[in-house]
Amino acid sequence: MYHFTAPKGWLNDPNGVIHHNGVYHLFYQHNPYGSLWANMHWGHATSRDLVHWQHQPIALAPSPNPDSYDAGGVFSGCCVIDDEGTPVIIYTGVGAPNHHPQVPALAFGDADLQTWQKYAGNPIIQPPSQLNIVGFRDHTVWKEGDGWHQLIGSGIRGQGGCVFHYTSPNLRQWRYAGVALQGHSQQNNGRDTGTIWECPDFFSLAHLSDPAEPAHVLLISPIPLNQVQYFVGGWQNGQITPHSMGVLDYGTALWAPQSFTDSQGRRIMFGWLRESRPQHEQRASAWNGVMTLPRILSLSADGKRVLSNPAPEVQQLRRSTHRMPAQALIADQPHSLPIRSACCEIEIEIAVQTAHQIILSVRQSPADEEVTRIIYNHIDQCLWLDTTHARQNSASGQANAAPLVLTDHDTLRLRVFVDDSVIEVYANEGVCLSGRIYPARTDSDHISIRCNKGEAFIQQCVVWSMASTIF
């Protein structure tokens, strides 16, 4: 495998992602005692290159004292370096037994971020009592001017998801500063934004046409919807004013992404790719949940969309190379790619010409009993990830579409990462779809390409086998 997962047990949200003293740190929601969600700890791994990871000791565990504010779990949060150079985790502590109340708390780390002491003054904030809220958890914290700012994910009953804004001189004392952005279920230009916003992530991104005027981006994981959304806009006087909004990844596996700026100034994101297999199979599995590849976030040329692309470091994982010669694709004449693999990267560039659909099939069995399809539909200009036939005799799986408009001069450019049960598709400038698939057959490792009606031309097609990355 080349996607990160826990040494054993359950993994969900990335937490506290940070680049510190040349080391990338990836903390994550983790149950070390079982393969289902329970006993939330913070797992920890480190890397010098974003793709090869070393497991580290667990960073945070729930308190053994049943009356403690975090006896019911150590939920999601972030990590910053304070004004004295001390690493600080801001997380949500939850009480036992029903994960309530949900309260922000701090932990202080050593210089290597290896061992953590919970702050004696925890919890540091109480949920606002004057509002009828649903949930009060997950944190995005940053320094601005000489003060600290924090957004906490929540929702107001009857209205919709929102983020609360707090300010602090020192990370320990916080002052409530209001609702930074309030969603209205069904009323955001016709797009539902859900009832609770989990895992807000707030940061600025430079705009290519005006690097001096960065835009502010808020990522949210909106319950009960199943896709991560973004808002792009302004930030002033504690208010986010969105100019545009959209879906970060058009598949349904991504949840709770978190990003950070590294020493090269890149905005790098990891996200949780959720399982979609039946619960009894999850229970029986040794591990559960993986992280996305590291993704670089950027803004589209018009400044309205958030684009995702794999970090260049991922190319280090490429091993043997298999190339297919440039050639025409004639309707309904499939071409098999020159390698069978369930663990590979495929890079392909196609002039779509008159073809109605381009269909790249992966994790495919010889007679198509199982197949996962990446389909470019030229007619409605959408890119589909279709996992409905990923596993034989199973009705699970979905077909999800991302808008992808190609002009007459554009080719279709895909990078597809297949890693056993994980699939990540990146198209053209940064459209992204990811999913999870569970083929039952060991011979579901064929790869083929075809077009439906009309003709197309394959300009480039390369497949790489991939190295394993967790030590």
How does DSSP assign 78-146, residue by residue?
EEEE-TTS-EEEEEEEE-TTT--SEEEEEEEE-TTS--EEE-TT-------TTS-EEEEEEEEEEEETT
Angle at 17 between CA 127 and CA 293, to 5 degrees: 125
Calpha distance 92→413 (Å, rounded): 41
Both tokens of 94, joined, read: 């939850």
Please give the DSSP secondary-structure letter assigned to residue 272.
Answer: E
CB 42 to ligand FRU: min, Å = 10
> How many CB atoms sit inside 10 A of residue 438's CB?
19
Active site residue 13: yes
Pick between residue 206 and residue 223 the one whose CB is nearest to ligand FRU: 223
How many Å apart are CA 178 and CA 150, to the nearest integer? 11
CA dist., res. 438 & res. 277, Å (int):
7
Strands (E), 262-371: 267-273, 287-288, 290-291, 295-299, 306-310, 318-324, 327-330, 335-336, 343-351, 357-364
CA distance 342 to 468: 13
Q: Which is nearer to ligand FRU, 75 or 116 (CB)?
A: 75
Residue 50 or 199 having the CB closest to ligand FRU: 199
Using the CB atoms, write b or e for 35-53: b if 16+ within 10 Å: beeebbbbbbbbbeebbbb
Q: Tell how many helices (H) and how many strands (E) occur in the chain.
A: 1, 35
- Residue 348 CB, shortest distance to ligand FRU, in Å, is 33
- Amino acid occupying residue 387: T
Give the shortest CB-10-to-ligand FRU separation in angstroms: 9
**Given phi > 0 = left and psi -120 to 50 = alpha, else beta, which region is 332?**
left
Nearer to ligand FRU, 42 or 260 (CB): 42
State the burial class of residue 26 (Cβ atoms within 10 Å of its Cβ: 0-12, 13-18, 19+): buried
Question: Which residues contribute to the site for ligand FRU (CB under 6 A)?
Answer: 12-13, 29, 40, 75-76, 92, 137-138, 198-199, 255-256
Contact yes or no for 141/90 (Cβ under 8 A): yes
**Structure tokens given for 369:** 């009993």
Whether residue 219 contacts residue 248, with contact meaning beta carbons closer than 8 Å, is answered with: yes
Report the sign of the C-alpha dihedral through residues 75, 248, 80, 148, in that order: negative
* Catalytic residue selected from 13, 70, 249, 419: 13
Please name the amino acid found at residue 454. Answer: G
Both tokens assigned to 431: 């459209």
Angle at 457 between CA 451 and CA 461, to 5 degrees: 90
User: Which residue shows structure tokens 């559960």?
Assistant: 288
Q: Which CB atom, from 73 or from 109, has the smaller least distance to ligand FRU?
A: 73
Q: Minimum distance between the CB of residue 171 and ligand FRU, rounded to whole angstroms?
A: 19
Q: Which is nearer to ligand FRU, 162 or 466 (CB)?
A: 162
| Active site residues per annotation | 13
